[in-house]
Structures are given as structure tokens and as C-alpha cells.
A and B are shown apart, each in its own frame.
Chain A
Amino acid sequence: MARLAAILRALALAYRRDWTALQSLAGNNFFLATVFFMGKAGGFLYLILGLVVLFPMSTDPMRKIPASRLALWPLERRERRLLRLVSPWVNPITWVIAGLAIWTVGRTITAGLWAFIAGVFLAGFLLSDLPFPSAPSMWRPIPAFPGRLNQLIRKNVREILSTLDFYCALILSLSAIGFRIAGVDMPGEAFMAMALLVVLALASYAQCLFGLDGEGGLSRYRLLPLRGWQLLAAKDAAFLLVAIALTLPLAPLPGAGAACVALAAGHAPAVEKPRTQTRWRFTMGVLIWNGVLQIVFMAMAASTIWTHPWALAPCVAAWLGSLWWYGREMERRMQV
């Protein structure tokens, strides 16, 4: 039993550390915007956020133990069975689901909701045991881009696709496209607002452009004979490609403008206060000042471009100016 308790303690510790999925929300622009600006619509957006977070949090705790290590441990068959039975309770989500089950007894409407949440949890739990490809290999077929930065841009697109920010933006974009296809009568401004929301969901990543490169990647940047602005441009190109692709069916110009502004405001923390990020989590940016300013400037840019498309030009100019300035800053910081 002492062996079992030791393993469960280690699993609980690992799970506690894994709660960055929820902590990351606190530094995410999208979370901030939903709290302060969305009012009633916040409920729907929270549901999207909740589902995007719930899925990765539902993984089987036993996956945290390397299979080879588990096989080597001197555990008896009885202990292994017990571990299998008890380990799901290390995951706090299991307790939440169980609590909800008790709460929903006798409530027919909430029972349906409970079944839905439990279904998402179960899917996450069971799917985590299947041999899925790792994050990068899921996105192998990224197309090639022209120029010498081709491979760097492909890598950066793969990085964006391994954050929850992208999936949140994708769900928002698909929802708006669904409305458009269904022919629901919506004012044009609504699509502009949705385009802004989509870019907002991605915007925290613009503050942490180098967060998923790891130590090895960062040292490679320093070895490559590339200027700082070129390294930043490869990051920005990937961000703009994703943002423009998601906002194209909604309001392309305000979307592009907001993306340029998000990058212009995001370069400073990305270069000066780099933050390591975790895959399959929301990006955790620098909320105070950087995040707030980013949101305000993006909202101003998107709404102005909606009525005056020429306003895209100053947004692009701001982005290019920031690229040049922080490219120099990056070069300065690369030699320490």
C-alpha cells in the first residue's frame, strides 16, 4: 500500500502542476475581454473556453507515468488493479463531474448538460490512451512558403496550431461562418465584431512569439546568420497567415488590421519579457498594460478600418515600424 500511496502522491503533484491550463486563462487577452466587455454573450464564450480547457484536462492520470517505468516498478497485480481504479480520482475534474452528478439528481434539464460535460470528459480520458500522433506530427502537411524563411514559417504555423488559442478562434470563426451559411440576417458590424473576437483569441500569442521554441530553438536562432527582424518576420508571417485565414470569411480588412496591431503591440513583451509556453494550453501573455493596450488598439483599429478601409495602412506601418525596432532589440539581446 505504501508503494501505491507514493505513486498516487506523485501523480497528484504532477496534476497540480498541470493546472496551468486554468492559470493560463488569467493571462489571456480573450479571457479579459469576455470578463469586461461581453456582458450577456460572455456565457456563450465561457462555454467555448470551458470546453476547450476541459478536453485536455480530462486525460488519464496514468499517462503521466512513462509506460516503461510503470512496467519496471515492483507492483503486484492487485496493486496495479487498485492503481487503475483509484488514479482517475487524482484528476480534480473527476470530482467535479461526480459533484455535478449528485447535484443534478432530480433535475431533468441539468442532467442533459451533465451528460454532455461528462461525455467530453470521458472522450478526453479515453482518447488520451490512444496512440495519437504528437502535436507537431499532426500538422505535418503545412504548405511550403516562398523565400529563405520557408521552414521557419512552417514551424511557427505548427506552433500556433498547438495552442488552445487557435482552437478557440477556430470555433468562433466557424460559428460566425455557420450563421453566414444559414443565411441568418446579421448586421455587417456583427461580422466585424466576430473578426475582432477571433483575432483577440489569438492575440496573447503575439506577446509570446518565442514561447514554444524551447531552449534548443532559442539557441539555434542565435546561431543562424539571420537579422533580428527576419526572425521576428518569420513569427509574424505565421501569425498573420492564421489570423487572416480565420477572419477571411468574416471581415478580412478589420481582421488583418487587428492582427497587425496585435503584433505591433505584442513585439515588446515577446522580445523583452519572453515567457515559456506549454502546448495545448492557452497562451499566457502579459495582461497588465500590454494585454489591455493590445485589446484597446485592436478594437480601435478594427472599428476604424470597418468604416474607413484606408486605416489599414497606418496599422501595417505600425507593425513594420515595430518589426524594425524590436528586430534590432532582439539582435542586441541575442549577444549576452
Chain B
Amino acid sequence: MISCRNLTRRFGDFTAVQALTLEVPAGAICAFLGPNGAGKSTTVKMLTGLLAPTSGEAEVCGLNVAAHPFEIKKVIGVLPEDLGLFDDLTVEEHLLLTGDIYGVDHRQTRARTDQLLHALSLDHGRHTFAASCSHGMRKKTAFAMALLPNPRVLFLDEPFEAIDPVTAKIIRELLVSVARHGVTVFLTSHILSMVERIASQIVMIRKGSMVWNSSVADLPQSLEDHYFDLVESPVVEELEWLGSPRS
């Protein structure tokens, strides 16, 4: 469902993503992991047609991303890094906008909007403008926008970050459910415990290069330990001045 070959993106001398090659089958939940600045968001942008690769090519739903950027937008749902919300629209208006733009029948849009707002505990804030929403509400709104048109592939950039545990669980269950119905999910996250529970495929990236790609079952150790071994091990530094008398 998602495939890329030698996908590379350079910004001047800096190589953000280096020759990425991977396949994600239909109905899989692929977790794309790596530290900040590793190239995760750049990859998502290239796969969703927001950023042209310097070289290499990518296909989503059998469509070449560079050749068919408009057609691809119709079949994917995206939760972008910056959430992509308009300050001047309310939570509900964002969902109605999505239904209108993706050609979903008006009655269906209304019904799906109500269901999504309820499922994501956004009922109370449906008439709140995005500019006045908390970060969690904004993230849930953007997530609902990604789901509403019933996409074939979901690209989610850090869906579990900055939301309450109950909503995180709801999103987790929703993702497992949509994957069961054949929707492919490609997500980035730093919350390894959450990822380990739902992902069927793990891809790790470090400094733009892929360092691991396997199913969860093929991980040689726990995801966290493997991540620290392969990607980045935490260095805990002692800050002696903390707790000492003030000078």
C-alpha cells in the first residue's frame, strides 16, 4: 500500500532522509521511529506529496506520489506535524469543511462529525474556535479530520503526544479497528510503549538513514531496549547545582 525506493531529501548540504526503501502492506500499522530531527516528518511529507524528494520515488495506493499528488490527497488522511488547523474555524466547522471538500454526502458528514466528536470527547468544544482550543483539542480535531473521509491510508505524525491517557487509548483502539478494516496506518511517535501495543511493523531511522525494519514479532528484545541500542541511548547527566543552596 505504501512503497518507496531510495527516497532521499536534501536541504542544501544537509541530508534529511537518505535512500529510504520500504514496503508497508495494506492493513498494517507501521510505526516510524527515531529521535527529533531524524527525518520522520520529512518522510511523512514526502509520502503525502507535501515535499518533493530530491531523488527516489514513492507510491501510495499504487499511485506515484510525484506524478499524482492531487489523486493521492483524495485517498489519504493526514495528521500533520503542525496539525493544519485554521484559527477562524470552530472544531465542528473543521469537520464539516473536510466532509464538503472530500465530497462526503452532507447527511453522512453530519453523522460522522457527531460520532467523531463524541468518540474523541470533543462534544463540549465543538463550537470552540481552533485558536482558543487546548493543544489536546487541536490534535483531536486534526485526527478527526484525517478519519472523516474514510481514507485508505492514514499518515499520523505523533498522534499520541500531548493528549490525555483516555484519548490516547481511544485513538489506539480506533487505529486498531481501522487497520482491521484494511486501512493502512503509517505513524511516527516517541511513545514506545503505545507503539509496541498496536504496531505490526517497526521502522527505525537515525540521521536520515533506516537502521531497522521488521515486524514487531521479529524484534530481538523489547522495543524500548532495541531503540536505545540502535537509535540513541540516553545519557543522564548530573546537574550538581540542582537542590544545592542558592548563590
Taking Cβ atoms with an 8 Å cutoff, the residues of A that contact B are 134-137, 139-140, 148-152, 154-156, 158-159, 162, 212-217, 219-220, 222-227, 335-336
Complex contacts, A150 vs chain B, CB 8 Å = 96-97, 100
User: Closest residue to A137 on the B side, CB-wise?
Assistant: B129
B237 at the interface (CB under 8 A from A): no
15 interchain pairs, CB-CB under 8 A: A135-B88, A148-B100, A150-B96, A151-B94, A155-B88, A159-B88, A212-B87, A215-B82, A219-B80, A223-B73, A224-B73, A224-B101, A225-B102, A227-B70, A335-B51
Q: Which residues of B contact A225 (CB under 8 A)?
A: 70, 73-74, 101-102
Counting CB contacts under 8 A, is B25 at the interface? no
Q: In the complex, which residues of chain B have a beta carbon less than 8 angstroms from the beta carbon of A213? A: 86
Question: Taking the nearest CB of chain A, how far is it from the CB of B140, in angstroms?
Answer: 15
A152–B69 CA distance with the chains assembled, in angstroms: 21
Quick check: A220 and B84 within 8 Å, CB to CB?
yes
Known: A134-B131, A137-B132. A223 touches B97 (CB 8 A): no
Question: Chain B interface residue count: which class?
Answer: 20 to 34
Whether B52 pairs with A151 at a CB distance below 8 angstroms is no
Q: Which residues of A contact B83 (CB under 8 A)?
A: 216
CA distance A213 to B103 in the complex (A): 23
Q: List B residues 90-135 near A (Cβ within 8 Å).
A: 90, 93-94, 96-97, 100-103, 127, 129-132
Asked whether any CB of chain A lies closer than 8 Å to the CB of B78, the reply is yes
**With contacts A217-B85, A224-B73 known, is A152 near B50, CB below 8 A?**
no
Q: Given A148-B103, A335-B50, are A216 and B85 neighbors across the interface (CB < 8 Å)? A: yes
Q: Does B18 interact with chain A (Cβ within 8 Å)?
A: no
Q: Are B96 and A151 in contact (CB under 8 A)?
A: yes
Q: Tell whether B48 is near chain A: CB-to-CB under 8 Å.
A: yes
- Majority secondary structure of chain A interface residues (helix, strand, loop or mixed): helix
CB-CB < 8 A to B130: which residues of A? Answer: 216
At the interface, yes or no: B168 with Cβ under 8 Å from chain A?
no
The listed residue (A134, A139, A220, A335) touching B86 by CB distance below 8 A is A220
Bound CA–CA A213/B86 (angstroms): 6
- Complex Cα–Cα for A223 and B74 (A): 9
The yes or no answer to B89 lying at the interface (CB within 8 A) is yes
Q: How far is the CA of A154 from the CA of B131 in the complex (A)?
A: 15
Given A136-B131, A151-B93, A336-B52: A226 in contact with B85 (beta carbons within 8 A): no
Which of B52, B82, B129 touches A136 (beta carbons < 8 Å)? B129
Do B52 and A152 touch (CB < 8 A)?
A: no
Is A152 a contact partner of B97 (Cβ separation < 8 A)? Answer: yes
How many Å from the CB of A219 to the closest CB on chain B? 5
List of A residues within 8 angstroms of B69 by Cβ: 335
Q: Across the interface, which residues of B come within 8 angstroms of A216, CB to CB?
A: 82-87, 130
Q: B84–A226 contact, CB under 8 A?
A: no
Are B85 and A158 in contact, with the CB atoms below 8 A? no
Q: Which residue from chain A places its CB closest to the CB of B51 in the assembled complex?
A: A336
What residues of B have a CB within 8 angstroms of the CB of A226 in the complex? 101
